[in-house]
Amino acid sequence: MGEERRLRMGMVGGGPGAFIGPVHRIAAEMDGRIELVAGAFSQSPERSRQAGETFRIHPSRAYADYRQMIAGERKRPDGIDFVAIVTPNHLHLAVALAALEAGFPVMSDKPATATYQEALKLEAAVKKAGLPYGLTHTYAGYQMVREARAICAAGSLGKVRKVAVEYFQGWLSRPIETTGHKQAEWRSDPARSGPGGAIGDIGTHAFHLLEYVSGLEVTAIQASLRSVVPGRKLDDDCNAFVRMNNGAAGALACSQVAAGEMNELRLRVFGEEGSLEWRQQDPNRLIVKWLDKPEEIYHAAAGYLGGDAKAVARTPAGHPEGYLEAFAVLYREFADALWAWKRGGTASLPATLPGIEAGVRGMRFIERAIESNRKEGWVEF
C-alpha cells in the first residue's frame, strides 16, 4: 500500500463561510492517502476562487460549477480520483449522479439526499455505476464507537432490551436563520435542507449511530416533532419511540433548541447483563456497566481493546483524538477501498464504513418520522 501515490480529491461545496468544507479537507488529508486538488466550492465563481486559494490549490482547478469540475478534471492526466460532496442537502443528488455518471467514486456528506425518493434514485445509480460511494456519518469513525459496536456484536451485554440515543444542540435556540447566519439559513429552509430540520440534520446521525453500534434495525417509530422557535419552517425538536428488530425498544431524541448544549450526542444500549454508554463530547471513553461487576471505563488506544478499535487509533492512550480524527477514519477507509477497487476489486466498502445503504436508511428514517408525526401514531419502517 505504501508505494501508491495520494488519491486526488475534488470537492463540491465548502466555500467561504461553510463549516464542513475545511473539515472534509483536513479529514481527507490527515492520513496521507488523499490530497485536495480541485473544487467547485461555491456557485459564485469569485467565492469558489477565494476558497481555492484558502485551500492552496491551483487557481485553474477552482471551478465555478461542479459540472465544469467534472468535465475539466476528466480531461487532465492528473485529474481527480473521486468527488467529495459537501453542499447543502438539496444538491447532493444532482452532484452525485453527475459524478457517478462521469465514472467518479463519491464520498458524500450526510444525509445522502434531500428526500427518501431521491435516495432510492441515488441507490439505483450507485448500483448501476458500480462505483464506491461513501457517506460521512462522522461518529462512526470514532474509535470507541467501533469498540462499542464490537461489544454489541460479541453479545457481551446479553440480548439487547432497551436503547436510548439523543443528540442535543442549542445553537438554533434563537431565529438566527433570519439574521444572515449561513449555516442556519439553509438548514432551516425546506427547499435546501429537505423536509426534515433537526430530524434530518442531526436526528439521522443519532439514528445511524443507534443501528451502527447495536447491530439492530429500527422496525417502527413514533415521532413527535415541533418547531419551537416562532416562524421556523422546519422542526427543531424531536422526541421519538423506536422498536428494534430483536424486540428491544427505546427512545430517540434530537433538538437544536436545547439551549446550553453544544453537540451532545449520547448513546446507551442496555442488554440483559449490562449496558454501554458513549458520549461524543467525551469520545475517548466508553462506559460499560454490569449487573454484577464494577463499572468499567474503556479508554481509546488501550491494549485491551478489540481489533476494530485498535485499527483506527493514531496516538497512544491518553492522547485525545477528536472529531477530525473520527472523520479522517472514514476517509482513510474510503481511500483504502478505492485503491482496492482500482486494483480490480469490487466497489464494496468495509462493513465499518457507511455507504449508500446507510444513506437510504437515513432518508427513510426522516420520512418515517415525519409521517409518524403527521398521523400522531406508530409507523412501520
Closest CB 195 distance from its own copies, rounded Å: 20
How far is the C-alpha of 271 from the C-alpha of 213, rounded, in Å? 13
Closest CB 130 distance from its own copies, rounded Å: 27
Alpha helices in 113-181 (DSSP H): 116-129, 143-154
Closest CB 272 distance from its own copies, rounded Å: 6
Q: Between 214 and 222, whose beta carbon lies closer to its own copies?
A: 222
Q: Between 126 and 240, whose beta carbon lies closer to its own copies?
A: 240
**Closest to 234 in 3D by CA, of 196, 200, 183:** 196
Closest CB 142 distance from its own copies, rounded Å: 9
The residues with which 108 forms a beta bridge, in sequence order, are 85, 135
Q: Between 17 and 130, whose beta carbon lies closer to its own copies?
A: 17
**Radius of gyration of the chain from its Cα atoms, rounded to whole angstroms:** 20
Neighbour count for residue 297 (Cβ, 10 Å): 10
Q: Between 87 and 222, whose beta carbon lies closer to its own copies?
A: 222
Q: The C-alpha cell of 317 is what? A: 492512550
Q: Between 164 and 347, whose beta carbon lies closer to its own copies?
A: 164
The residues with which 135 forms a beta bridge, in sequence order, are 108
Q: Between 320 and 345, whose beta carbon lies closer to its own copies?
A: 320
Residue with cell 428514517: 365
Cα 197 to chain centroid distance, Å, stands at: 16
For residues 231 and 151, is the Cβ–Cβ distance under 8 A?
no
160-168 and 264-271: which strand pairing? antiparallel
Closest CB 101 distance from its own copies, rounded Å: 30
Closest CB 159 distance from its own copies, rounded Å: 10
Closest CB 122 distance from its own copies, rounded Å: 27
Closest CB 135 distance from its own copies, rounded Å: 18
Closest CB 286 distance from its own copies, rounded Å: 9
Q: Between 112 and 223, whose beta carbon lies closer to its own copies?
A: 223
39 secondary structure, DSSP code = E
Q: Between 36 and 360, whose beta carbon lies closer to its own copies?
A: 36
How far is the C-alpha of 308 from the C-alpha of 320, rounded, in Å? 18
The residues with which 372 forms a beta bridge, in sequence order, are none
Taking the CA of residue 210 as centre, how many other CA atoms within 13 Å lie in the half-sphere pointing to its CB? 32
Angle at which helix 143-154 crosses helix 323-342, to 10 degrees, equals: 70
Q: Following CA atoms 148, 150, 152, 156 in sequence, which dihedral angle do they give, to the nearest 10 degrees?
A: -110
For residues 31 and 331, is the Cβ–Cβ distance under 8 A?
yes
Q: Between 250 and 359, whose beta carbon lies closer to its own copies?
A: 250
